Amino acid sequence: MATPLAEAYGPWGVIAGGSDGVGAAFAHKIASQGINVVLVARRGPVLEASADEIRAKYGVEVRTVVLDLSVPDAISGLARATSGLQVGLFVFNAGADDISVPFLDKDLDTHLSLVRRNCAAVMEAAYRFGAPMAARGRGGLVLVTSGAAWAGGAARAVYGATKAFDLILAEGLWAEWRSRGVDVLALVLGRTDTPSFRRALEAMGDGPPGELADPDDVAEAALAHLADGPVWIYGSADPAGGSPLGALSRRDAVLMVSGSWSANTEEEDKV
């Protein structure tokens, strides 16, 4: 018997950035409900290991697509690779920024790569995979964004801008597609226990990370509230509400989110 999730969003789900962390958690949650999954990521061996685990555990079909989502033809390639599948759920989870450094301390190609992955690829995926959902009158799209979208901040100007793009895109698509049977959710995450986040902490030389959200809990909450779009702020007392910085002026919000980086810079300058 099909589960409610499979009836609403099956028979296939695509998880972009599905090899570990939140993406892998989504893959397991979706597969546990009887939905076949397509895992998309750059690292082939990690991707195949995750696929083998899901097949063995849940008995669903699993396909893998080794793909760098920052290259210009990535999503057209993904569409070709899944052309024979009826995709009812698409989760775009790729797009972490491993190292937060000042804008001019990264080369231009790195910035452009991040924009292609977090903006152009997300928009193209929504277009290519959302159109058949809207035509069928059934489907779901989850865009994983970040608290960095709420305001600009030092050392993450481009990353925050791309995540704001994802947030606004999801809200707009929700408004357009809600009457066409397609659920759209911007999943706003804070500090989450993922390999990419821990790599970022290590690269910056930060100490213990403190309390982190569990990826399994994140994926479970997002799927449970997919129909409650356009936004779900994981861990917030008001998860469907607005920006937690809304009471501040834009200037004060930027200064606040830049505070930790500024403090660290000042300490380095004293050494």
Active-site position among 9, 58, 159, 234: 159
Residues 6+ apart with CB under 8 A from 1: none
Catalytic residue flag (residue 159): yes
> Burial letters for 240-267: b for 16+ Cβ neighbours within 10 Å, e otherwise?
eeebbbeebeeeebbeebbeebeeeeee
Q: How far apart are CA 247 and CA 250, in angstroms?
A: 9
Helix/strand/coil for 212: coil
Q: How far apart are CA 180 and CA 48, in angstroms?
A: 35
Read off the amino acid at residue 218: V
Q: How far apart are CA 93 and CA 122, in angstroms?
A: 9
Give the residue numbers marked as catalytic: 159
